[in-house]
Amino acid sequence: MRHLLRYIGQRLYTTWATFWFLVPFVLTFPLQWYFSRRPDGHGVVHALNRFWSWFSITMWAVPIEVVRESKGPTPQPCVYVANHGSYVDIMMLFKYIPGFLNMMGKASLAKVPVWGPIFGNVYITVDRTSAVSRGRAMVAARRGLAAGKSIAIFAEGRISPTPGKELLPLLDGAFQLAIEMRVPLVPVGMPLNHMFMPDVAKDLRVRYHRLKIVFHPPISTDGLTLADIPALKQRVAAQLTSDFLPEGAVKPGPSTWRAPAVSQEQPQSVNS
């Protein structure tokens, strides 16, 4: 009975979370579509996305711990380097980073029905398997930073298969960008997002679970060269993995109303 009630609760909460994810987008979609097609309207679209993120996360009613280790304001513009464990990551960054934030996402995001073209028009997409696409993305990111727009990059390049437990090797792009543009790096750890919405194939899995986001102190890139990238990556990786928590080491399993099977060992026969 306990497993059945848990299953029903998980299904109901998934429905609740999905509903409040869709409602603000549906309501703001006409404005997002219109302003995403205008170069001078991208700030409006981002403001709508920030509202969407704030509203949805608020309605999910999960406790969220926000840690800002730096006492002063974050220097702008900067490059935010975040770990990637869930599709909720983008919403958390939009909610807790004020002002316009350039987001670098994988090219497949622009192919998501309805919302994808909006993302592709407003933010930066990249196909990491294509040198041409990577080059174009870096040019767009440099232009944004030169215009005073901070950017967030998931330096792992994709969602980790073991989020909250192991960090994928960080790619060079974010660090090269920060050094070349002489802007600070800000590591951002999100160790529990995958406990709320894990990345699982062909399944929408939402679990009520607390969230946490950690903004580490800015790292100055003044005086650094591209030769310093390996040490810089190691430093940032150490900070991001330091945010991992024991409760986030295992992905939530699928919903089921059945009690887990209890293995019974068969007694071995003894020949006399």
Q: What would the two tokens of residue 54 be?
A: 């704030």
- Counting the structural domains of the chain, the total is 1
pLDDT along the chain (272 residues), means of 10: 82 94 96 96 97 98 97 94 96 97 93 93 93 95 97 95 94 97 98 91 84 98 97 98 94 64 47 40
Q: Is residue 160 part of a domain?
A: yes
DSSP sequence for 237-250: HHHHHTT--GGGSS
pLDDT at position 200, please? 75
pLDDT for the residue numbered 205: 82
Q: Is residue 159 part of a domain?
A: yes
Residue 262 per-residue DSSP state:
P
Of residues 87, 99, 121, the one with CA closest to residue 47: 99
Angle, in degrees to the nearest 10, between helices 42-60 and 88-96: 110
pLDDT for the residue numbered 202 = 67
In a domain, 40, yes or no: no
225 occurs within a structural domain: yes
Is there a domain that residue 141 lies in?
A: yes
Residue 155 neighbours by CB under 8 Å, 6+ apart: 81, 82, 170, 171, 173, 174, 175, 233, 236
Domain at 146, CATH number = 3.40.1130.10
Nearest partner of 190 among 76, 78, 77, 57, judged by Cα: 57
- Examine residue 10 and state whether it is found in any structural domain, yes or no: no
**Residue 99 is part of which domain span?**
62-248
Q: Are 78 and 220 in contact (CB under 8 A)?
A: no
CA atoms of 90 and 216, how far apart (whole Å): 18
Asked if the structure places residue 108 within a domain, the reply is: yes
Tokens of 223: 């005086």
* 242 inside domain: yes
